[in-house]
Amino acid sequence: MSDYGTLYIIATPIGNLADITLRALDIIKNVKTLYAEDTRVTKHLLEHYGIQATLQSLHDFNESKKISSVIEQIQAGADLGLVSDAGTPLISDPGYKLVSAAQDAGICVRPIPGASALTAALSIAGMPTDRFIFEGFFPKSSTERIKLLNDLRYEARTMVFYESAQRIQATLQDCLIVMGGERKAALLRELTKHYEQHICAQLNEIQQQLAEQTEKIRGEIVLILHGNTAPDDAASVEKAEKLLFELQQHLPLKEAAAIVSKHTGIRRNQLYALGLGKSKNKPK
């Protein structure tokens, strides 16, 4: 095992090509092969720094097939590197299967830390960072997003998500329905790039600012939601949810939500989302 090589997990820039460490550049120059999520993207980075390297692809669709070959090379003494298109590998990117297999095989896996959209966004969001959860990308469908948000509506920790520019407005609408427009949030777009944008405000204000933008929304987005600051409300909402479910046996969801809202003060939209989630998940 002492003759084994090392697998390096190498962070690369998330936008600005200057955001890479000297150590990362040195490792990239010296590994036998650099495995990349998209070799075309990584080639651009290598050309910028004048680095010649042997590139191979490793992504979601071929990772499982390539693991044995990569492990064999390292066991034969080769040092190999893994990079993603941007940021730190394995953070909502391929690689965990390879790392797990390497550890099982007794191979040394070393991190080469650097840029990460997750930590960059948290550092400027102005929300508690002593405790937070990372949920990765939101589900693509509104029904699944609302289900996820309902599961998190009493979460006290800061919540971090990734989202695409194409879906961000629909996702914000779902967040408004479940979390309420007054929930503090931060939308960080195109971090470290020329058109970097930060909107740190209430959800309804963020939605309004995006709606008023004349230019098309582009680029990668990090959306951060403040944790629930009134956890004692959970019990009252749970009671309201039970009442809503009982009324749904006799009334349409819209009418049931209106009645429960009137008697509890809980937002009608939130109750409707709760009832919709129950209906979708009810056994058939």
Amino acid letter, 62: N
**Domain 118-225 in CATH 3.30.465.10:** no
| Residue among 31, 54, 30, 32 at smallest CA distance from 42 | 54
C-alpha span between 187 and 197 (Å, rounded): 8
User: CB neighbours of 5 closer than 8 A, spacing ≥ 6?
Assistant: 32, 73, 74, 75, 76, 77, 78, 79, 80, 107
Report the pLDDT value the prediction gives residue 242, as an integer from 0 to 100: 84
C-alpha span between 74 and 20 (Å, rounded): 25
C-alpha span between 223 and 189 (Å, rounded): 9
| Residue among 166, 193, 161 at smallest CA distance from 179 | 161
6-115 belongs to which CATH class?
A: alpha beta
Report the pLDDT value the prediction gives residue 282, as an integer from 0 to 100: 56
Pairing of strands 80-83, 6-10: parallel
pLDDT tens, position by position, for the chain (284 residues)? 579 999 999 999 999 999 999 999 999 999 999 999 999 999 999 999 999 999 999 999 999 999 999 999 999 999 999 999 999 999 999 999 999 999 999 999 999 999 999 999 999 999 999 999 999 999 999 999 999 999 898 888 999 999 999 999 999 999 999 999 999 999 999 999 999 999 999 999 999 999 999 899 999 999 999 998 865 465 677 778 888 888 888 899 989 888 888 777 677 787 888 787 666 555 54
Domain extents for the chain?
6-115, 118-225, 233-281
Report the pLDDT value the prediction gives residue 232, as an integer from 0 to 100: 47
Task: Please tell me the pTM assigned to this model.
Answer: 0.81
Q: Which long-range contacts (CB under 8 A, 24 or more apart) does 260-269 make?
A: 264/236, 264/239, 264/240, 266/236, 266/237, 266/240, 267/180, 269/176, 269/177
